[in-house]
């Protein structure tokens, strides 16, 4: 039996991705399969970037010249990468640097870069992870970085064509193919109910930031989206694209209806599926 070294959890916000990812880890532990879980927002994610900026050599030199007084702190938070530098924003913020400098660094967040530059960096990151994971005796569990993130930056932020985003995800799929991944797509039939539930359970800042991000960038501007209704309309378009993605992927995929939020039943389904992996 082929060993699965990567399990991917995807779905619309509020569908139960985090809960599902944690359950997958619990099931693997019960099966005595070494597992490593990375939820959304993990700053140490091995295949994604979170709150990391990228500077070309010229941009980095200009930053050091402009903020020479704080060059030591900048260098300590940076590491060479190809022809440029990666910079962890958390280390910059800990150094208590000027607000203007922090804003300059945030502007170069990898998820704020032009789409093609972003894709190049992410493809390389996934390739490095895949090569490493092939040699390890463990199964990684990733929440929402395989489908959600490419669609968020490609479709939601930049309004890129679906074919372009599909191509990006297909390239990621090719990179991780040697890990024999399994994809769990967590579904909620009532999108409005699941999203409003997520809004009620999370801080107000989350929902305000989410609605602003969705309505006031690429796809949202094209659709002239406003408020919660606009966000729900965009989420519906996102869900359609995600369905198209999972239909076209040549990957072991399971669509899990979590509309009832029945944790015991949900766990049992995961247990039944995962008990058949090595």
Residue where a domain terminates, one of 91, 107, 123? 107
Q: What is the pLDDT of residues 61-78, one digit of tens each?
A: 999 999 999 999 999 999
- Domain assignment of residue 1, yes or no: no
Regarding whether 199 and 99 lie in a shared domain, the answer is no
How far, in Å, CA of 144 to CA of 33, rounded?
22
Regarding whether 146 and 66 lie in a shared domain, the answer is no
Sheet holding 84-88, edge to edge: 52-56, 84-88, 78-81
Strand, coil or helix: 35: strand
Regarding whether 88 and 36 lie in a shared domain, the answer is no
Regarding whether 269 and 164 lie in a shared domain, the answer is yes
Q: Is the pLDDT of residue 28 over 60?
A: yes
**What pLDDT score does 1 carry?**
47
pTM for the full model? 0.94
Regarding whether 145 and 206 lie in a shared domain, the answer is yes
Regarding whether 83 and 21 lie in a shared domain, the answer is no
How far, in Å, CA of 264 to CA of 270, rounded?
10
Q: What range does the domain containing 127 cover?
A: 6-48+114-274
Total domains in the chain come to 2
| The residue to which tokens 């809960």 are assigned | 19
Regarding whether 27 and 94 lie in a shared domain, the answer is no
- Domain assignment of residue 126, yes or no: yes
Regarding whether 261 and 215 lie in a shared domain, the answer is yes
Produce one character per residue of 92-116: b if its CB has 16 or more CB atoms within 10 Å, e if not: beeeebeeebeebbeebbbbebebe
How far, in Å, CA of 234 to CA of 43, rounded?
27
Regarding whether 67 and 33 lie in a shared domain, the answer is no
Residue 245 sits in a domain whose CATH number is 3.40.50.300
- Percentage of the chain with pLDDT > 70? 99
Of 11, 51, 1, 54, nearest in space to 31 by CA: 1
Q: Is the pLDDT of residue 241 over 90?
A: yes
Residue where a domain terminates, one of 107, 133, 149? 107
Of 102, 184, 115, 180, nearest in space to 143 by CA: 184
Q: What is the pLDDT of residues 166-217, one digit of tens each?
A: 999 999 999 999 999 999 999 999 999 989 989 999 999 999 999 999 999 9
Q: What is the pLDDT of residues 113-148, one digit of tens each?
A: 999 999 999 999 999 999 999 999 999 999 999 999
- Strands 78-81 and 6-11 come out as unpaired
**What pLDDT score does 211 carry?**
97
Regarding whether 162 and 247 lie in a shared domain, the answer is yes
- Domain assignment of residue 240, yes or no: yes
Regarding whether 143 and 26 lie in a shared domain, the answer is yes
Q: What is the pLDDT of residues 81-96, one digit of tens each?
A: 999 999 999 999 888 8
**What pLDDT score does 278 carry?**
67
Length of the chain: 278
Regarding whether 181 and 198 lie in a shared domain, the answer is yes
φ, ψ of residue 88 in degrees (nearest 5): -80, 120
């Amino acid at each position: 039996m082929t060993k699965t070294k990567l399990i991917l959890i995807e779905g619309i916000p509020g569908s139960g991705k985090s809960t599902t990812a944690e359950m997958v880890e619990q099931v693997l532990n019960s099966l005595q399969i070494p597992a490593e879980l990375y939820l959304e927002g993990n700053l140490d994610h091995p295949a994604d970037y979170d709150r990391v900026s990228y500077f070309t050599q010229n941009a980095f030199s200009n930053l050091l010249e402009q903020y020479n007084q704080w060059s030591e702190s900048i260098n300590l938070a940076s590491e060479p990468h190809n022809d440029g530098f990666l910079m962890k924003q958390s280390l910059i913020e800990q150094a208590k640097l000027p607000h203007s400098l922090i804003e300059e660094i945030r502007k170069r967040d990898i998820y704020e870069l032009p789409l093609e530059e972003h894709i190049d960096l992410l493809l390389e990151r996934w390739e490095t992870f895949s090569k490493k994971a092939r040699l390890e005796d463990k199964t990684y569990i990733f929440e929402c970085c395989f489908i959600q993130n490419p669609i968020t930056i490609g479709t939601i932020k930049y309004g890129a064509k679906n074919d372009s985003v599909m191509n990006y995800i297909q390239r990621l799929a090719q990179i991780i193919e040697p890990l024999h991944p399994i994809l769990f797509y967590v579904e909620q039939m009532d999108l409005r109910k699941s999203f409003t539930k997520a809004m009620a359970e999370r801080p107000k800042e989350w929902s305000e930031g989410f609605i602003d991000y969705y309505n006031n960038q690429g796809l949202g501007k094209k659709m002239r989206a406003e408020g919660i209704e606009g966000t729900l309309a965009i989420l519906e378009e996102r869900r359609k694209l995600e369905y198209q993605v999972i239909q076209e992927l040549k990957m072991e995929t399971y669509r899990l209806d979590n509309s009832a939020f029945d944790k015991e039943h949900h766990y049992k389904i995961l247990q039944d599926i995962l008990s058949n992996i090595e």
